[in-house]
Chains A and B, each alone.
Chain A
């Protein structure tokens, strides 16, 4: 059972455009929602994370929007750059002590000049 559904599977965006990746979850016990960025040959790296007590979190060009009632959250990348080309994973975890992340299947983002 896939507990975190991520879409789209791949995304092509023009330089300067906005990249939007969506995730939906099923487990209402989830209370920590990070996004990870992975370049080829590298491990995932934390990009930004949110807890359900806020509906939006912004760090630089990256914003998470969170809709608790719909059990959905999304990543927006503003002014997308070729260097943002990577695979992005949403994830979720339950409980303050948990490092047991449930990941989505990933979105391969390509930003073209």
Chain B
């Protein structure tokens, strides 16, 4: 087990709705990244947070937003859900000694599977 927990594990929404996914980082980790994994595909980087600030963003529209809290837990919010948002959403935590210094390894949670009908 990686110590990264995500909730909920599964959820079903309808197009146009909003969803919030939650992630609890491994103890001592100060950086959280979110990835979207469509069925049969590799994970795609959404964004990452370091010390409560967004520190990098992939090619996702603004309706994908996030938060990192002082205890380093995190939320991913998706507004105006579209059918193509159906995917496994993965949270990964890691340790960073500075804004641009990583220690190499991401620890992934088991994901939240979102189905949009």
A interface residues, Cβ below 8 angstroms from B: 4, 6, 32, 34, 41-46, 49, 89, 91, 95-106
**CB within 8 A of B45: which of A46, A89, A97, A102?**
A102
CB pair A43 B98 closer than 8 Å:
no
B interface residues, Cβ below 8 angstroms from A: 2, 4, 31, 33, 35, 40-45, 48, 56, 58, 90, 92, 94, 96, 98-102, 104-111
Q: Which residues of chain A have C-beta atoms less than 8 A from B98's C-beta?
A: 97
**CB within 8 A of A97: which of B35, B44, B101, B110?**
B101
CB pair A105 B2 closer than 8 Å:
no
Q: Which residues of chain A have C-beta atoms less than 8 A from B90's C-beta?
A: 43-44
Interface centre among B48, B101, B105, B106, by most chain A C-beta atoms within 10 angstroms, is B106
CB pair A96 B101 closer than 8 Å:
yes
CB pair A96 B108 closer than 8 Å:
no
Q: How far, in whole Å, are A89 and B92 apart by their CA atoms in the complex?
A: 15
Q: How far, in whole Å, are A4 and B41 apart by their CA atoms in the complex?
A: 12
CB pair A43 B45 closer than 8 Å:
no
7 CB contacts below 8 A, A to B, read A32-B104, A43-B108, A45-B2, A98-B56, A99-B102, A101-B35, A104-B42
Q: Which residues of chain B have C-beta atoms less than 8 A from A103's C-beta?
A: 42-44
Distance (whole angstroms) from the CB of B43 to the closest CB of chain A: 5
Q: Which residues of chain B have C-beta atoms less than 8 A from A45's C-beta?
A: 2, 108
CB pair B42 A89 closer than 8 Å:
yes
Given contacts A43-B110, A99-B33, A99-B48, whether A106 and B42 have CB atoms under 8 Å apart is yes
Interface centre among A34, A44, A89, by most chain B C-beta atoms within 10 angstroms, is A44
CB pair A43 B109 closer than 8 Å:
yes
Q: Which residues of chain B have C-beta atoms less than 8 A from A34's C-beta?
A: 104-105
